[in-house]
Amino acid sequence: MPEFRIDAADEGARLDVVLAAHDDLSRAAAQRLIAAGAVLLDGRQVAKHHVVRPGELVTYEMPAPVVSTMQAESVPYRIVYEDDALLVVDKPAGVVVHPAPGHEHGTLVHGLLDHGIAGGHETRPGVVHRLDKDTSGLLIIARSALAHRRLVAAMARRDIQRRYVALVDGALPHDKGVIDVPIGRHVRDRKRISVHSVNPRPAVTHFSIRERLPGHTYLDVRLETGRTHQIRVHFAALGYPISGDVVYGAKERPARLARQFLHAARLAFPHPLNGEEMVFDAPLPADLATYLEYLLGVAPP
């Protein structure tokens, strides 16, 4: 069983807080371990709110890794980087990240099962964060339960930087800015995310203009938080929806654009095992690059 001693810096803290910090757990996960009797303090069970003292010995047992029962399938994707702890994958548009109602097969997870991904839920092993089906770009996938816990904790601390390129309809009036507007499930349509929600959560999106194009604005976007559909909802709420987004923008796509113009172009994060700074870039996919050329008059009409 893993163990550690309480040091002077943690004197007066709660057991659940100290355990969560020590093993990169969420506080809720630490509380579940304590409630299950899997955590001992000097050989005895104590409550999650127990105040620790220097020198006390904490022993704990992590639950067995979740074993997926899914079968590997052939799914398109590109591996940008891999080591024993993680994969960085460039996901094409049209691929769902993990199984969900209506998408039980053919997901990115199915395609990656042969690569030994692990951690998290049985139906989404290794998944640290997600992209919408029709958003392309970079994702981190964990290959061990420890790497998964640490990457999820890094995401919660906002240590993982995610940058996108996006094309929006209309001419944004400012060259750069911050959208700080809480979002959540729509008050009437539970399938949509909205700024009009009975239970909104903080959401912050940073943007700067790359280029102004006829009828459009080409943007660099950085997520400070990572809510579902955050970029799409934020720009739609401003009145400048993502081009090709038929859920939050125009109901018909331009003839030359088959999906929303949104691409996860850069990831930067500390390696979950050694802390080394990792930075990865994914080029703009051909379909989006061709549409940009069309707007600029470079592609044939």
Residues 26 and 146 in one domain: no
Last residue of one domain, picked from the residues 100, 133, 157: 157
Euclidean distance between CA atoms 20 and 26, whole angstroms: 6
Identity of the amino acid at 80: V
Q: What is the pLDDT of residues 181-234, one digit of tens each?
A: 999 988 877 678 999 888 889 999 999 999 999 999 999 999 999 899 999 999
Give the number of domains in the chain: 3
pLDDT at position 53, please?
92
Compute the half-sphere exposure of residue 115: CA atoms within 13 Å on the CB side of its CA: 27
Residues 276 and 199 in one domain: yes
Closest CA to 194 of 245, 228, 222: 228
Q: What is the pLDDT of residues 53-104, one digit of tens each?
A: 999 999 988 876 665 678 888 999 999 999 999 999 999 999 999 887 777 8
Beta bridge partners of 186: 197
Residue 162 is encoded by which pair of tokens? 């995610």
Beta bridge partners of 188: none
Residues 190 and 280 in one domain: yes
Run of H or E residues at 227: none
Compute the half-sphere exposure of residue 85: CA atoms within 13 Å on the CB side of its CA: 14
Euclidean distance between CA atoms 284 and 29, whole angstroms: 38
What is the SS3 assignment for 291?
Answer: helix
Compute the half-sphere exposure of residue 91: CA atoms within 13 Å on the CB side of its CA: 32
Residues 175 and 37 in one domain: no
Q: Is the pLDDT at 176 greater than 90, yes or no?
A: yes
Contacts 24+ apart (CB under 8 A), 297-300: none
Percent of the chain with pLDDT over 70: 96
Q: Is the pLDDT at 269 greater than 90, yes or no?
A: yes
33 φ/ψ angles, rounded to the nearest 5 degrees: -65, -45
Q: Is 132 a catalytic residue?
A: yes
Domain extent for 169: 158-301
Choose, from 16, 23, 132, 134, the residue flagged as catalytic: 132
Q: Specify the pairing of strand 136-142 against strand 262-270.
A: parallel
Euclidean distance between CA atoms 221 and 209, whole angstroms: 9
Compute the half-sphere exposure of residue 293: CA atoms within 13 Å on the CB side of its CA: 11
Last residue of one domain, picked from the residues 25, 40, 60: 60
DSSP string, 236-283: HHHT-PBTT-TTTS-SS--TT--S--EEEEEEEEE-TTT--EEEEE-P
Residues 203 and 251 in one domain: yes
Q: What is the pLDDT of residues 113-147, one digit of tens each?
A: 999 999 888 888 999 999 999 999 999 999 998 89
Residues 248 and 273 in one domain: yes
- Identify the CATH number of the domain in which residue 104 sits: 3.30.2350.10
Mean pLDDT, the chain, as a whole number?
A: 91
Residues 123 and 174 in one domain: no
pLDDT at position 66, please?
61
Percent of the chain with pLDDT over 90: 66
